Structure 1
């Protein structure tokens, strides 16, 4: 499973395990570094994800923490190897916001993706034609092309995973009623909606729920957000989407993550059931073609 999660998640899992082992041993970073004749900054960088760790250094840490099980040692070494693997999204560094690429890395290894959006089709559900229209505000043709390629590759890479993540989306009704692309090709949005409906009906790992206008004001009006859940004991990640450079990503035990879990469940209670949501999406597609 480790090699299926991508380098960012494997690195985070390894670091989490190493910190836990050190604390269980009752040792400070300075004490561990001294026992290994390392500088304290070396261990700080390893635990903080600033530096990768070699097989030899990892083995030294595991011996310090009295990890003698061969299977456990190999599992952690496998995580370390995976963390050093090149990521497909690295080729977009310098062209796409760094925080978003880190989020892409976390979502690439998630076991569960929960997402709410109140204005747009989420990137992981977009057709290429919809993505191209939504990228028209990007300043250059090159930047537009990169944005579309990233969205499409995210979808492709998740689909290639041995165990793809369970994806659960709540969409405000405004998302499915807006005729995106009408000035380019009036068929883009109906095709997008039918593609979503088809996928939701055909895939066991995808659920779409629509929050109808009749629900009135709701917590989602504060903005779109994504919650990522992982196997292996890694804490959830919260990503609050904003304008380029204004998005926020929260990790660890931050109470905002719990708050947004509650927000998602509250939105879910107000959303239509899955079958009625799909029916409404199909109807919206027909209405846009009329």
Structure 2
């Protein structure tokens, strides 16, 4: 049975499995294409995720690779069906960047999300009023409303998953000290901090830790990033938010993924334990209300 990982992850899992099967068979793309009387470009597009694969074509590939187990065939066919499904985030195509939509697709199927931010509350933890504050500005009312809807829908869709991902957040103390909304509604930030603290106490899969100012400079000063892990053998994904430049999404064997895994562990060494972090957030919330 296929999990609720979404079309982006299920497509990636299927492609990874097909490439592995071909290599185990010792065949090149050209040899497989010749055996099936396909053009090499057709298989290249399938393995590269450019083309969805039909049930018939997948069955033909599996025969070439010697996959005869009915259960294994059905598992891969289920992945193919999932990969062809319409994703909820498709409604935002053309409205936000393709890189961010790809990230949403991967994050929606992740089993473990690790995120560091040094300036604002991560989107999956934002309250509606906090999100609304951060999309104010020169954009039209329609664009602002769409941006808020996207952030909140990500939270709603994540909560629907049968097996929600573990989420591990590290925040710089600057994130919780900045009094967002102080000029319009001083209660926005205290309520946001209380929301994070309550969720961290109530949800077993959620951990939030704060790096105090007393830790001094740390690796996180270079900007926010997210690491995603997956069940099923898919490699990690790294997303770097564009604070000083364009955002970037790294997959596969990109060496930066390993570097940022190490960075996250180093940042953990600087962070307060969760209980102390929650206590600090509640303390700051009280201070901001006075």
Q: TM-score, normalised by structure 2?
A: 0.98
Deviation by residue 1:9-67 (Cα, 9 ceiling, x = unmatched): 00000000000000010100010000000000000000000000000000000000000
Distance in 1 between residues matched to 2:245 and 2:156, nearest whole Å:
25
Distance in 2 between residues matched to 1:279 and 1:115, nearest whole Å:
20
Given the alignment of the two structures, is residue 29 of structure 1 paired with residue 25 of structure 2, yes or no?
no
Q: Equivalent residue for 2:42?
A: 42
In structure 1, list runs of 5 or more residues that go unmatched. none
- Counterpart mapping for 1:126-205 below 5 A: 126-137=126-137, 139-205=139-205
Q: Equivalent residue for 2:213?
A: 213
**Which stretch shows the higher mean deviation, 140-149 or 162-171?**
140-149
Q: Equivalent residue for 1:86?
A: 86
**Which stretch shows the higher mean deviation, 243-252 or 267-276?**
243-252
Q: Is the 8 A contact 2:223 2:243 kept in 1?
A: no
Distance in 2 between residues matched to 1:138 and 1:21, nearest whole Å:
51
- The alpha-carbon deviation at position 3 of structure 1 amounts to 4.0
- Aligned to 2:86, what secondary structure does the other structure show? coil
Runs of 4+ in 1 over 3 A off after TM superposition: none
- Aligned to 2:168, what secondary structure does the other structure show? strand
Deviation by residue 1:87-124 (Cα, 9 ceiling, x = unmatched): 00000001111110010000000000000000000000
In structure 2, list runs of 5 or more residues that go unmatched. none
Distance 1:85 1:269, change over 3 A: same
Equivalenced residues, count: 290
Q: Equivalent residue for 1:242?
A: 242
| Alignment RMSD (CA, Å) | 1.0
Q: Is the 8 A contact 1:97 1:244 kept in 2?
A: no
Q: Equivalent residue for 1:226?
A: 226
Distance in 1 between residues matched to 2:258 and 2:94, nearest whole Å:
32
Q: Equivalent residue for 2:257?
A: 257
- The alpha-carbon deviation at position 137 of structure 1 amounts to 3.0
